[in-house]
């Protein structure tokens, strides 16, 4: 899909263009490199014995890999959504759609999301809305439409405070959000995912989320796509120097993904049935294995899926096969027959991550 000459009709298309053409990755890493698996040279296991399968929202999936929330709302993003959904269906992995807020003002865009369910009838699909919308809503009757639009298995509410405050046209009202999420959850019998968008989630915030009974926390930490970087490039195009300066300053703000998974899992895994998605800079099968070993139940990738979707359908398939092969090899080399064994395999934690764990008084199992 060549998008260099597409007319930019709205913010979503502009985001797609910037995310695919500019270097919008954070300068700092996920810190997953501070984790070392202890190599098992005698795994007593065959490659074909390694089992990646698990369950997401009660549905069987082939591997703990999720296509992260990105698109919908325009003709371009409809094409991307369909390509990704076909891959989700073929490999039996879940997919999260991008923010569905646009549907509320432009109902004619519904089909750009509905196409996901049409192309992926059998896998878990997660809807999406922003926390600013939820925080300022007087009632949640509109949510029904978002759920039925894609026959959603769950609804994700994304936290993107940093992006909103950096862009002049962004929302600035966030107080009262927790109460509103609770009210939304009470009104609808649908699992709620709370997800960051690249700044990570702390143990303290996880505790608040446990208290209101959310079902899944997607940490989306620092180390991958930086939304501040995206806003920096938008400001550069618009020639707004003050916003460019803010972008440079906050480019790498947040909790690295490895630290965020440890934070959230230290709060969640002992006390509740909440599942954790490790995301933000997950780029290969070893990253997925490390995220799972630290306490995530699944791993999600966003930008890498966009890049291969723009190359074409076959590229998405090849990418998923490559990632799953890498995960399978990592499991073999740690002697892990399945995910249950992977999460118990020995690791050594080094450097900044070790320091973070110590200062935050977290115990690693
Ligand atoms: C092009 C693009 C659009 C995105 N749009 C959304 C969105 O609408 N809603 C959302 O919750 N997250 C959105 N995200 C954030 C991702 O879901 C993810 O949290 C973040 O990009 C970090 O993952 P990554 O490093 O694998 O890209 C978007 C990411 C990308 C790359």
Can you give the residue ranges of every domain in the chain? Answer: 11-359
DSSP category for residue 34: G
pLDDT digits (tens, 9 = 90+) for 81-128: 999 999 999 999 999 999 999 999 999 999 999 999 999 999 999 999
Distance 155 CA to ligand 1 centre (A): 15
Q: Is 16 near ligand 1, meaning CB less than 6 Å away?
A: yes
The listed range with the strongest mean pLDDT (6-20, 227-241, 292-306) is 292-306
CA-nearest residue, atom 6 of ligand 1: 70
Ligand 1 atom closest to Cα of 196? 19
Kindly state the tokens that stand for 219. 């940490």
Question: Quick check: 171 pLDDT over 80?
Answer: no
Q: Is 222 near ligand 1, meaning CB less than 6 Å away?
A: no
Q: Tell me what pLDDT residue 116 has.
A: 98
Q: Is 127 near ligand 1, meaning CB less than 6 Å away?
A: no
Rounded distance between C-alpha atoms, residue 51 and residue 336, angstroms: 9
DSSP category for residue 68: P
Q: Mean pLDDT across the stretch 181-203?
A: 96
Question: Quick check: 4 pLDDT over 70?
Answer: no
* DSSP strands (E only) in 82-139: 95-96, 125-130
CATH topology of domain 11-359: TIM Barrel (3.20.20)
Ligand 1 atom closest to Cα of 16? 1
Nearest to 222 by CA among 164, 261, 194: 261
Q: What is the mean pLDDT of the chain?
A: 94
**What's the angle, vertex CA 287, arms to CA 286 and CA 293, rounded to 5?**
90
Confidence bin at 10 (pLDDT 50/70/90): confident
Q: Is 195 near ligand 1, meaning CB less than 6 Å away?
A: yes
Nearest to 199 by CA among 257, 283, 284: 257
Ligand 1 atom closest to Cα of 220? 19
Distance 43 CA to ligand 1 centre (A): 37
Distance 302 CA to ligand 1 centre (A): 5
Ligand 1 atom closest to Cα of 301? 26
CA distances from 29 to 205, 207, 226, 255 (A): 22, 25, 11, 10
CA-nearest residue, atom 7 of ligand 1: 98
Q: Is 280 near ligand 1, meaning CB less than 6 Å away?
A: yes
Nearest to 175 by CA among 216, 143, 134, 211: 134
- C-beta of residue 159 within 8 angstroms of C-beta of residue 131: yes
Ligand 1 atom closest to Cα of 223? 25
Rounded distance between C-alpha atoms, residue 65 and residue 67, angstroms: 7
- C-beta of residue 84 within 8 angstroms of C-beta of residue 67: yes
Kindly write down the DSSP assignment for every residue of 154-219, as one continuous string. Answer: EEEEEE-HHHHHHSTTS----TTHHHHHHHHHHH--S-EEEEESSS---HHHHHHHHHHT-SEEE-
CA-nearest residue, atom 28 of ligand 1: 70
Ligand 1 pocket: which of 84, 98, 256, 307 to mutate (most atoms <8 Å of CB)?
Answer: 98
Which H or E run includes 242?
helix 241-250
């Amino acid at each position: 899909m060549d998008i260099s000459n597409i007319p930019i009709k709205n913010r979503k298309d502009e985001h797609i263009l910037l995310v695919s053409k500019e270097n919008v990755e954070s300068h700092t890493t996920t810190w997953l490199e501070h984790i070392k698996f202890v190599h098992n040279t005698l795994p007593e296991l065959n490659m074909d014995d390694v089992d990646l399968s698990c369950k997401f929202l009660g549905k069987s999936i082939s591997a703990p890999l999720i296509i992260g929330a990105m698109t919908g709302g325009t003709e371009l993003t409809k094409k991307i959504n369909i390509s990704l959904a076909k891959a989700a269906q073929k490999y039996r992995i879940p997919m999260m759609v991008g923010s569905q807020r646009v549907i509320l003002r432009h109902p004619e865009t519904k089909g750009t999301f509905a196409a996901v369910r049409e192309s992926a009838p059998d896998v878990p699909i997660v809807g999406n809305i922003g926390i600013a919308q939820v925080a300022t809503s007087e009632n949640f009757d509109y949510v029904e439409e978002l759920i039925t639009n894609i026959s959603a298995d769950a609804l994700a509410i994304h936290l993107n405070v940093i992006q909103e405050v950096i862009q002049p046209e962004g929302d600035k009202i966030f107080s009262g959000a927790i109460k509103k999420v609770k009210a939304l959850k009470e009104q609808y019998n649908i699992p709620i995912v709370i997800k960051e968008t690249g700044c990570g989630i702390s143990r303290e915030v996880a505790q608040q989320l446990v208290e209101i009974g959310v079902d899944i926390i997607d940490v989306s930490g620092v180390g991958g796509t930086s939304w501040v970087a995206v806003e920096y490039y938008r400001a550069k195009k618009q020639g707004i120097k003050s916003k460019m300066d803010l972008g440079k300053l906050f480019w790498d703000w947040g909790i690295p993904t490895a630290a965020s998974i440890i934070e959230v899992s230290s709060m969640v895994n002992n006390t509740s049935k909440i599942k954790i998605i490790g995301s933000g800079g997950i780029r290969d099968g070893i990253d997925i294995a490390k995220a799972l070993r630290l306490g995530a139940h699944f791993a999600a990738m966003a930008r890498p899926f966009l890049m291969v979707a723009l190359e074409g359908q076959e590229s998405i398939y090849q990418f998923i096969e490559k990632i799953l092969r890498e995960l399978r090899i990592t499991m073999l080399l740690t002697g892990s027959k399945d995910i249950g064994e992977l999460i118990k395999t020995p690791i050594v934690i080094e450097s900044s991550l070790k320091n973070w764990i110590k200062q935050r008084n977290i115990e690693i199992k």
